[in-house]
């Protein structure tokens, strides 16, 4: 029996197959595969999504850390560009699966860890995302609170920070509650607003400083190429870790893509170029502040506080939009989906978003930032880097083991092939352990510290090799001809699709 339809590289379930899964414990309206109608995101939507998320305070200040390590401005910019091009590769590879089969990240994880084992990579991604959600909400709160205090003398009343945090938290959760589709419209607003504001800030800096400023003329502190590379490689790993977590759950967004080409082209240009250009703006403006104010102001909030009240007000709105975009897109969608996947019959995405918000509060981000800021940031960065092995397993499974062919119906069948034994794919667990263990050797053996400096990269490649080897001959892999037997091919909306579009074919689910 045909259970799925492939049309122009996108696979959907037949209506009969979809109806048969309605009572499955692995199925609900949020986790089900998208329909053909829901594949509506064009390249513009993916471009604005990434541009909106990249135009944020951490991206603005990213180069400052690299310059403090001894790099000059162009070395810092080159490092940021290289890191983002590298992380773009797993993003695009995992995007393909989300686009082709219309599945979110936790469902994609069932393929390589099993119906129950999928909770391991899903919750691993969720924990770090929830941690960052709380921290970014607190950072946004501090920025808004500082700008309000600079604008209004009455704002320094007792409890003002608590009020700002509560309102900003509610705003984040409210937008997240609407689901990933809300990001589609939020990004369309955020991209031009924040982008134009950044350009205006750059023009102001150049006009008032009479040039680029001293930071752009400061030479590199490295005397040899070897000295540079000792800093470059761990710095690249840090840049990769910035988006390494989203490389895992990018299917949560790409499941709505209209075509593979549109999402691939849009993401390929928007991510590395936006991060690089925005980081350069951060360097250039900061360099100008040395001339204008006599000190380097890397924090855009501290810079805005020096402007008149009306400009501060406009800047506050921009920061709210910027913080909201990256926080919801990068830090709420993944944990909300992971929580929903724990019990799809009882938990919705909206409820998962609310639980994520509450968990972020319980982590007390204000306490973390006040007392253990450097440690926690280091820990979360390290944790993000160690997600490399999960990226590697996902890539190996989809591209090398299954060669992009799967039984979509069985991802939602509790007795299907992707439940493996007892709901766990032991090969995925073993590959994960091996992929994490190899970089950790760099912490134990001094001569192998380069493994830890490049934890994400080594973990990714080691897990690819281990998982591909362990999955040889696995019973869950479709045998030759099986995919064709379960798949009906439709190549256009004319001719053989005429009966589909007028509703006369009950086995097609294109609504």
Confidence of residue 143 (pLDDT cuts 50, 70, 90): confident
Cα 51 from chain centroid? 13
**Residues with Cβ < 8 Å from 332, sequence gap 6 or more?**
129, 133, 172, 173, 176, 353, 356, 357
pTM of the model: 0.89
Which H helix or E strand runs over 433? helix 426-444
pLDDT given at position 245: 85
> Would you say 245 and 129 are in contact if contact means Cβ atoms under 8 Å apart?
yes
Confidence of residue 218 (pLDDT cuts 50, 70, 90): confident
* 257 or 156: which leads in pLDDT: 257
* 118 or 506: which leads in pLDDT: 118
How far apart (Å, rounded) are the C-alpha atoms in residues 166 and 170? 6
pLDDT given at position 508: 45
- pLDDT single digits (tens) 226-250: 999 999 998 898 889 889 889 999 9
* Average pLDDT, integer, range 368-385: 59
DSSP summary character for residue 398: I
pLDDT given at position 502: 34
Strand order, beta sheet including 4-7: 10-13, 4-7, 487-490
* Average pLDDT, integer, range 406-414: 96
pLDDT > 50? residue 416: yes
> Would you say 320 and 117 are in contact if contact means Cβ atoms under 8 Å apart?
no
pLDDT given at position 350: 92
pLDDT > 90? residue 165: yes
pLDDT > 70? residue 139: yes
How far apart (Å, rounded) are the C-alpha atoms in residues 419 and 216? 56
DSSP summary character for residue 496: G
Structure-derived torsion over alpha carbons of residues 76, 77, 79, 83, reported in degrees to the nearest 10: 140
10-13/4-7 β-pairing: antiparallel
pLDDT given at position 504: 36
> Would you say 488 and 5 are in contact if contact means Cβ atoms under 8 Å apart?
yes
- Distance in Å from the first CA to the final CA of the chain: 21
Pick the CATH number of 4-501 from 1.10.4160.10, 1.20.1300.10, 3.50.50.60, 3.30.70.3270: 1.10.4160.10
pLDDT given at position 125: 85
> Hey, CA dihedral for 409, 415, 421, 423, is it positive or negative?
positive
* Average pLDDT, integer, range 382-395: 85
List C-alpha distances in Å: 202 to 198, 208, 211, 264: 6, 10, 11, 30
Residue of 277, 274, 281 whose CA lies nearest to 206: 281
DSSP summary character for residue 218: P
**Residues with Cβ < 8 Å from 88, sequence gap 6 or more?**
267, 268, 271, 272
pLDDT given at position 91: 97
* Average pLDDT, integer, range 220-226: 93
> Would you say 327 and 140 are in contact if contact means Cβ atoms under 8 Å apart?
yes
Q: Which stretch of 243-252, 283-292, 357-366 has the lowest confidence by average pLDDT?
A: 357-366
pLDDT more than 70, % of the chain: 93
pLDDT > 50? residue 510: no
For residue 464, the tally of other CB atoms under 10 A from its CB is 23
For residue 118, the tally of other CB atoms under 10 A from its CB is 27
pLDDT > 80? residue 374: no
- pLDDT single digits (tens) 279-289: 999 999 999 99
487-490/4-7 β-pairing: parallel
pLDDT given at position 505: 44
Confidence of residue 129 (pLDDT cuts 50, 70, 90): confident
CA geometry: angle at 101 spanning 418 and 392, to 5°?
65
How far apart (Å, rounded) are the C-alpha atoms in residues 164 and 139? 11
How far apart (Å, rounded) are the C-alpha atoms in residues 330 and 292? 35
Q: Which stretch of 212-221, 286-295, 488-497 has the lowest confidence by average pLDDT?
A: 488-497
pLDDT > 90? residue 166: yes
* 98 or 383: which leads in pLDDT: 98
- Coil vs helix vs strand at 424: strand
* Average pLDDT, integer, range 77-103: 97
Which H helix or E strand runs over 316? helix 309-331
Cα 406 from chain centroid? 24
* Average pLDDT, integer, range 353-380: 73
């Amino acid at each position: 029996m045909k259970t799925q339809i492939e049309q122009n590289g996108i696979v959907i379930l037949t209506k009969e197959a979809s109806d048969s899964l309605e009572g499955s414990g692995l199925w609900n309206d949020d986790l089900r595969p998208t329909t053909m109608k829901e594949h509506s995101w064009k390249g513009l939507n993916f471009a604005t999504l990434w541009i909106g998320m990249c135009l944020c305070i951490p991206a603005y200040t990213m180069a400052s850390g690299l310059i403090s390590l001894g790099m000059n401005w162009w070395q810092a910019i080159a490092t940021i560009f290289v890191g983002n091009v590298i992380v773009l590769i797993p993003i695009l590879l995992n995007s393909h699966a989300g686009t082709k089969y219309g599945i979110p990240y936790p469902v994609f994880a069932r393929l390589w860890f099993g119906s129950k084992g999928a909770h391991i990579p899903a919750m691993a991604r969720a924990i770090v995302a929830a941690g960052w959600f709380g921290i970014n909400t607190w950072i946004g709160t501090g920025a808004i609170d500082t700008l309000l205090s600079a604008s209004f003398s009455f704002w320094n009343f007792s409890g003002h920070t608590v009020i700002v945090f509560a309102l900003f938290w509610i705003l984040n959760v409210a937008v997240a509650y609407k689901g990933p589709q809300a990001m589609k419209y939020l990004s369309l607003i955020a991209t031009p607003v924040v982008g134009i504001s950044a350009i205006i800030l750059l023009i102001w800096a150049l006009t008032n400083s009479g040039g680029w400023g001293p930071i752009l003329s400061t030479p590199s502190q490295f005397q040899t190429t070897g000295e540079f590379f000792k800093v470059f490689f761990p710095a690249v790993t840090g840049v990769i870790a910035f988006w390494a977590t989203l490389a895992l759950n990018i299917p949560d967004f790409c499941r709505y893509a209209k075509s593979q080409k549109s999402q691939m082209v849009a993401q390929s240009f928007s991510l590395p170029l936006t991060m690089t250009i925005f980081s350069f703006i951060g360097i250039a403006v900061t360099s100008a502040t040395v001339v204008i104010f006599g000190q380097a102001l890397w924090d855009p909030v501290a810079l805005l506080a020096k402007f008149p009240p009306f400009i501060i007000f406009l800047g506050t709105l921009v920061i709210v939009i910027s913080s909201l975009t990256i926080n919801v897109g990068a830090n709420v969608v993944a944990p909300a989906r992971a929580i929903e996947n724990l019990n799809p019959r009882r938990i919705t995405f909206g409820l998962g978003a609310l639980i994520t918000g509450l968990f972020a509060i319980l982590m007390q981000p204000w306490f973390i930032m006040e007392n253990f800021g450097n440690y926690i940031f280091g820990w979360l960065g390290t944790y993000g880097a160690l997600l490399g092995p999960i990226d590697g397993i996902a890539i190996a499974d989809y591209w090398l083991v299954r060669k992009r062919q799967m039984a979509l119906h069985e991802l939602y069948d509790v007795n299907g092939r992707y439940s493996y034994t007892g709901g766990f794919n032991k090969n995925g667990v073993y590959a994960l352990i091996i992929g994490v263990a190899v970089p950790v050797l760099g912490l134990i053996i001094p001569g192998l510290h380069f493994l830890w400096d490049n934890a994400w990269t080594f973990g990714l490649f080691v897990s690819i090799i281990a998982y591909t080897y362990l999955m040889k001959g696995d019973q869950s892999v479709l045998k030759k001809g099986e995919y064709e037997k379960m798949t009906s091919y439709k190549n256009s909306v004319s001719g053989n699709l005429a009966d589909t579009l007028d509703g006369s074919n009950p086995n097609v689910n294109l609504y």
